[in-house]
Structure 1
Amino acid sequence: MKIIFVFLAILASILATMLIGLLIYNLEIMSIIAGLTFGLVVFYFSKKSSQAKKVIQFTFLVTAIVLAIVAYKFIFDKNDMVNTETLQITKSRF
């Protein structure tokens, strides 16, 4: 069971890393929340058995870095649509 949650935590953190380039913040936030949740579950399971926690720490580190980048993009990146009238005109021609 622990291995499944480790795999899901790593998968969610890698997915969040790949989604950094997109402008869809909702997908990144959901994968970050999933990565943190699965990481906490794995941390809870490994705390009981006192096993090595290097993979869990790596997952938390990657997820925290992605969270910082997403927060930076959310605060400072302005996606302003300029000249939408020409977009509507060209869309209506086709």
Structure 2
Amino acid sequence: MQEEKQEKIEAAVFRRLLAHLDENKQVQNIELMNLANFCRNCLAKWYSAEAKQLDVEIDYDQAREVIYGMPYSEWKDKYQQAATPEQLAQFEQKNKSK
């Protein structure tokens, strides 16, 4: 496969992932972390880091706005729920083994 086509496919998949996450705002970051060991914030960190590798300055807050589709503070106010004690315990247990 040509590198250009591969990059186009990968970009389309990334946009689709963001759309899927946007359509499923009820899925909380703690749930993503507990199940898949990454969340929307991780995506933002990766986005910012990859931009830096290409000499593009995108800070973490700018990257979160790309990932969340709005300023993070707005998303948090509208959609973020408090983690349950069970979710926090699972998260802590997972991170103990690292």
Query: TM > 0.5 between the two?
Result: no
Q: Identify which of structures 1 and 2 has the higher relative contact order when contacts are C-alpha pairs closer than 8 Å and 6+ apart.
A: 1
Q: TM-score range by the shorter chain?
A: 0.3 to 0.5
The structure where helix makes up a greater share of residues is: 1
TM-score, length basis structure 2: 0.38
